[in-house]
Structure 1
């Protein structure tokens, strides 16, 4: 005789609480997430977003309908006044992962960038305008902006726009703290400073995006532009004196990349000598200084600045090898500061999913010349300028000859059932502008 089924087992699946284990396959799990994102309870939406992010990390196959549903509903989660901080952070992460996953198969990632840039830039801008959101939310927005720009930028202008949003935050953090009058007393004064975690994230993300449009071969800076880059290098060099080691590490990595890309070719000699001296000092720094004095961070700082010192002194470049197969027989190898910056950001953002993306995502293969004939691989900057597929796609879209995203909601939970599918972008992402 077969075993008796419990009441729970006899419940219809649609009536059960959201549980990713109920899904029979990846497509079923994505559909379950879309349904759960329309639930009125933020706890359910949090679980759905966490499951969605974990699924997108593994580069699942996506179709237009699911893509639109996921993206639009993430915007609703961000706009909803009842959303928790965790929910909004997860929504930003899911959008970034969605853009990277879309870029593996279509030009839909540019749609994601087009709709999400203003809300993301606004969240980042609020940090240095004195109306600071929670630290974790700003960092989530910064990382999301990097991912959607990396995947969806159609040219340099799209990247420059994101770089400016990040650089404004970095520059404002380098200035003296703002002082606001008001408060409980007539003479009350309050300083607002950018948290070091946010500043470190902004610097490393800025460096990451810069590598996508500048390479050693095309970084011959005109003398007319040298003042801009000299000011940028000076700002980053100033961050080497920051109290937080995480900020110093991010700034050091960015500076090494700038030197490698010839962005310092017109910098005054005395400034470069001062930079080399500061790098040597940080390579041998003693414990105890700074707000982050953990030994692991100190060792990381010493190692990084030791490599930078060797690079500035005699051109020795860093090398890193990352296994990309289960047995460890296949590895991704990088041997430049620019590629190391890219690798560090993408491995941090994707976690265990990086291996899956570098194996199956063409964007990653192009970035790292992985599993392809080097003579046939374009740099990311050239890819973004000259990708014929993307150009044809958007030309067709403008002419109305290409089918847009399928605005079909897969379910009708009460939370959003009263909205027509095509209005989801308006009540979500567009309302965040």
Structure 2
């Protein structure tokens, strides 16, 4: 269960435990493949084969600057907040502990508490099911009540479900270290889209409000053994994930060169080149990673997992954000969402906000004058490609 207190100590990087977890997943995937426990032509089979290859070569990140490039930053809350606010150009994921504001009740597992808070269980949700054929979409629509029964029963399964796009019923759960001014650009984008030129309280339809709520925070619920193939999070988002129940494997391509990134972009479902690193998130720990981070998720079969997550945009990172957006607009297969309709809306909203701040003399808070100039040059390149997809 995620700890509610705000820890001041740096989270421990338990290399031995992390290696044991990785080895266990590798052994389970090898056994699953040898016993033909998954369809030979399914979404799950393709993902499992790729994750197996990546975990065979993946290494733990370097965290010591005296030994070379730092690939992961294990930080106290104060250190993480300083990095987030300063707009540090460091691409390494940030790992913290005890930064969650929301508190679970004692005495019951978080997954059970989550379903009690969900309320009306006749609602429909999308469920990713590994055995579905690779020529079909990867998910089926199921009732929330059926999902609840399956997760609370906790039966062992060779076809683990992963719940997609589950709206969080919890109070705002963004980690404390991401609540500073620099990380609030996405909130400003939401307000610009929903409020237009009004400075009064947001008045929007339930559907519009929920669309934005699901971007800012969401729930990741999965049965043990479900894996997610490498991808970038859509719309150039930076992302945070906080483990709540069960440990979760998080892997990423570390410091990719332009050639490595291009090679992965050309074949994201097969590519295994580059330097792959991993950590295991324990309950109470959060990871925060930058726009364009190529990452994957893996899990042992024994334990269901629950995590809270969300997206942010940083004012100081507008140049990189736009570069990632252009790559994702051009190569739709590298992201986890369809961006054709929404990309122009985000680009126009951010451009309007950046223009206003630059005119108010705040270019330094946007990464400097050169960053602002490059941002608008990229906007001119990107918008013509997306404007025809508005429909």
- Judging by fraction of residues, say which structure has more strand: 2
Rg larger in structure: 1
TM > 0.5: no
TM-score range, shorter chain: under 0.3
TM-score, scaled relative to structure 1: 0.24
TM-score, scaled relative to structure 2: 0.26
- Judging by fraction of residues, say which structure has more helix: 1
